[in-house]
Chain A
Amino acid sequence: MSGRPGGTGRLVGTSVRRQEDPRLLTGRGRFTDDVHLPGMLYAHFVRSTVASGSVVSLDLSAVREVPGVVAAFDAADLGLGDITARLDRPAGEFVPTAMPVLARDRVRFAGEPLAVVVARDPYAAEDGTEAAKVVHDTRPAVTRDTQALAPGAPLVHDAAAANTLLDVTMFATEGIDSVFDRAHCVVDVETRTGRQNALPLETRGAVAAWDDRDRQLVLHTSTQVPHQVRTVAARCLGLDERAVRVLVPDMGGGFGLKCVVGREEIAVAAAALRLGRPVKWTEDRKEALTASFLAREQHYRVRAAFDAEGRMLGLDADIVCDMGAYSCYPFTAGIEPLMAAAEMPGVYRLPAYRARARAVTTNKAPSAPYRGVSRPQFVLVVERLFERAARELGLDPVEIRRRNLITEFPYTGVNNITYDPGSYRESLDLCERTLREEGWYAARDTAAAEGRHLGIGYACFSERTGYGSAAFAQRKMEVVPGFDLAEVRMDTSGALTVTSGTMSHGQSHETTMAQIAADELGLPLEKVRLHQGDTERVAYGWGTFASRSIAVGGSAVRRAAAELGRKLRHLAAARWGVPPDEVVLGPGAVRRADGTAELSHTELARIAYLATHLLPEGMEPGLTATASFDGVGDGTFSNATHGVVVELHEGTGQVEILRYVCVEDCGVAVNPQVVEGQCRGGIAQGIAGALFEEITYDAQGEPSATGFMDYKVPTALEIPDVTVRHLETPCAFTETGAKGAGEGGTIGAPAAVLNAVNDALRPTGVELNDIPVTPQTIAHALEQHS
């Protein structure tokens, strides 16, 4: 049934306007912080000021005396269970961490919550936290991966020897050492990538209240994974899951930071239960930067072997990810290293591969997935290796990629992953041709003659999307994501409500999911509304992450709509006394195929609910259907090539992006404009990682950034116009032919930008492999040369 909807609608594939825009663009969105409940109190957290130490004493008595403060709770007061994420791996490979909701005896990063203060207003709550008397016994902090792994390093967790939470050698092709020994050319790259914050503009937040009538804790919170929050809240609080209802209002971004379960929302829920009053917590920007979840700090040492023609023969990777103080739930600290090791070969043919992947724990805020998850880093590493090999072998950097790109599909790699068809070669060709035809190669030559520094860089990559449970099972998580559920419900007027287990945090699901359902049933778009973000409304949902929503959730929506469509056809067929296959859904009504009769959706819905005596024998009243979909095999791979032209400015060291072209293929684009928006937003975040953002820690474990003065998130003024061009290789097994499109922009940008920078630096002999690249670094490189 792949590719074409069963109905006659043709909304899929068109850039219909975003259904969510009118309210969001006119300030009528409703976010978690907009939830106001009668008698609501406000929470603020007492946080550790030291990165590592034991808590000698924590005295909250003065806090409770502060005007406006209603209560203050520490770990002992609340007695909550820990948040522990596990992998089903032996102790030698993985060590879990128990993350307490509030720290008890030990603190492991500056910003870790110690107590929650609840007050009549947020000002008093913050006043209250200042009155807490905390005595720490400070221990030496572990702030670098190399320090963490050094013999005799202080231990962040007593159970984690050598501060290692995960150590897996995932692949080791037989004879790989001799491949390197015999290779015509071996190149190596050592890369470090900076620690970043995914930075949803809407910070985290929660409003918790007990509902006596439903005997339920109602937890409004900004999360990508409502059911995961429900599970953890129920476990920590000792409630049945039924007794927790998670509601997600509009979200102002998530990017992975909100697909893990935090501690604060659980503490707020516990406080609300204790006090019998609603409690709200809205994370402030300082907390968001220092005490939420960070990502991306990785250290690679990778070698690649090539033959004389530039064909890659082997890849040997040592991957260390600095995951901070705790494993995140549910993905664990394995999320980054396992992704990197499993998928590093990417779009290239590779006969021999070895990868050791480690997660180390340090005294920093913990890491969570962030859009792209390790792929921005290992794509950067692999693309740097190709550039180096091209130089060594005297090959054009585009040509060497062409010689290695996978062109025959399906392709099963040395990493045991089967890649479904994509347009790897075509996207590179089109990207290069675009830059060439626009004259950028000539412009580079002209600039060089004038003593200016122009560079051109590319990145080729794929992005595994639509992971099913089989693919996720390879991660060996204790809980295995993969499938999703959808329900469609037509009301008595013929309008449709679609409920999905996915959770849009900006991806326009209200539009795209509605396009899919409307097409299937022949309804106009305005007759379809998506309902999401309510654990009461769908039996289970895995939420939105890993570019899964359209591929998996959208497929479930189409299946549910198709099931409802069958019922509508049967009903209409019975009314006309014809076989169901002579009934066509839409456009706008249900018709006989020969055009001799039609019934409106409204009329059929009326019969299904209000005139059920007219239903054919055996047909149940009502018009609802549910369906599930699970990703197939190893998932489906989107792909893209990014091409970037930069100019480096002497004196200031500024990197100016003159041109950015993205040629992407996410299969059938349900809404091309939404896909372009995803590309552009992702590219902006990738550029941020390449050139702007980093949270560093000093030797005491104090983070460098507490606000946007220090954390240099680029603005619209720093991000160039991006041209997005589409190729379409439909996915054979998702219901719409769509592949995921959420993360690709972020994945390609750091590599393409860094390659362009290095191309511009070529005359200087300086080569940069670490990101972010700062103006200071560039100025220094150019200064040395001139």
Chain B
Amino acid sequence: MKPAPFTYHRARDIDDATRLLSRLTDDGGDPRVLAGGQSLVAMMNYRLARPGHLIDIGRLTTLRGLRTGEDGALHIGALTTHHAVETAPDAVLAPGFTVLRDAMRWVGHLPIRTRGTVGGSLAHADATAEWCLLAVLLDAVIVAQGPAGVRHIEAGDFFHGHYTTALGPDELLTEVVFPRPAPRAALTEFAPRHGDFATVSAAVDLDVAGDGHTVRGGRVALGGVAATPVRVPAAEAVLARGGTAGPELASAVARAAAGAVDPPADAEYRRGLARTLVERAVRQAVAR
């Protein structure tokens, strides 16, 4: 469990990183970006990943931190750790984005959260990763920088399959933007052990009227039921029909979600989990 040989580079800034990525890609050097290393290094130790070059972006401090734009969008730098989000004060993480902070307790264990990064998680694209699910749920925009300049990629277009994304081999993921607050959103999941990747994860974002209890619509997303996190239109259709926030609605949304997914493995169990977890997520979102 020692990695195969590789060449280590430490990037000075974003341009340096993208230049290195571009040059080494062109040379066939198979470079990989090293951020927190919580997935990549383990895969290298098992020799399941064998990059020829590692480009360490750990010194690119401009990629670290949270910022709210004038339009109310939340910008999270790629190098921001899960732990930084988990512990971000309201002044930094506006109350409308509390779902992000609360979701962090599901990410690995504390030591992993103190090193693992938001950008790393998105770029790694595990089908049950919390950030991937949140991005799909909340229409996040992933910002990438490469030789051709800056690209903005909708989360819905970003995840292509297991560990594969729209990111080019010479592109650096620099930021993820959550365009609007989601005050009535929630994420929950189940794994046999705390800290594991979820068997199934569920997240919902409800559109609730000013009266606080009339649901006008919303979004439902699931991880662990397909090769990427998926939105569940059948469940969202139930929300779109509207109704009073309560157990009946939660149950109806959950049934619709479970009926709409076709997990590739352990289908019956995962459908059951999807139902349980969507119901929990709706209840939690309503309770916010």
Contact = CB atoms under 8 A, between A and B. Distances in A.
B286 interface: no
Contacts of B268: 780
A692 interface: yes
Contacts of B266: 776
Interface string B1-19: 1111100000000000000
Interface in A756-780: 774-776, 779-780
Interface centre among B2, B5, B197, B199 (most CB of A within 10 A): B2
Contacts of B276: 650-652
Contact of A652 (B2, B190, B196): B190
B275 interface: yes
A714 B273 contact: no
B194 interface: yes
Contact of B2 (A123, A650, A654, A718): A123
B193 A652 contact: no
A726 interface: no
22 contacts: A122-B2, A123-B2, A126-B1, A284-B2, A285-B1, A651-B275, A651-B276, A651-B279, A652-B273, A652-B276, A652-B277, A692-B193, A707-B46, A712-B192, A714-B193, A715-B195, A717-B194, A718-B193, A775-B192, A775-B199, A776-B269, A783-B272
A449 interface: no
B5 to A, nearest CB: 7
A284 B1 contact: yes
Contact of B193 (A127, A130, A715, A780): A715
Given A774-B192, A775-B192, A651 B46 contact: no
A286 interface: yes
Nearest to A772: B192
Given A125-B2, A130-B47, A715-B109, 8 more contacts: A123-B2, A127-B4, A650-B276, A652-B190, A654-B192, A775-B199, A775-B269, A780-B268
Nearest to B1: A284
A717 B196 CA distance: 12
Interface string B40-79: 0010001100000000000000000000000000000000
Interface string A745-760: 0000000000000000
A284 B46 CA distance: 10
A707 B196 CA distance: 12
B108 to A, nearest CB: 11
Nearest to A652: B190
Interface in A684-733: 692, 706-707, 709, 712, 714-715, 717-718
Nearest 3 A-B pairs (CB), nearest first?
A651-B276, A284-B1, A717-B194
Contacts of A774: 192
B275 to A, nearest CB: 7
Contacts, number: 64
A706 B48 CA distance: 12
A712 B199 CA distance: 13
A6 interface: no
Interface string B196-233: 11010000000000000000000000000000000000
B110 to A, nearest CB: 11
A126 B193 contact: no
Interface in A101-125: 122-123, 125
A708 B109 CA distance: 13
A706 B5 contact: no
Contacts of B109: 715
A542 to B, nearest CB: 33
Given A692-B193, A706-B46, A712-B192, A123 B3 contact: yes
A320 B276 CA distance: 40
Contacts of B2: 122-123, 125-126, 284
Nearest to B197: A709
A606 to B, nearest CB: 53
Given A692-B193, A715-B193, A715-B194, A779 B272 contact: yes
A252 interface: no
Contact of A286 (B46, B192, B197): B46
Interface in B248-281: 266, 268-269, 272-273, 275-277, 279
A148 B188 CA distance: 44
A459 to B, nearest CB: 23
A780 B266 CA distance: 11
B253 to A, nearest CB: 14
A651 B194 contact: no
A205 to B, nearest CB: 13
Interface string B70-99: 000000000000000000000000000000
B269 A779 contact: yes
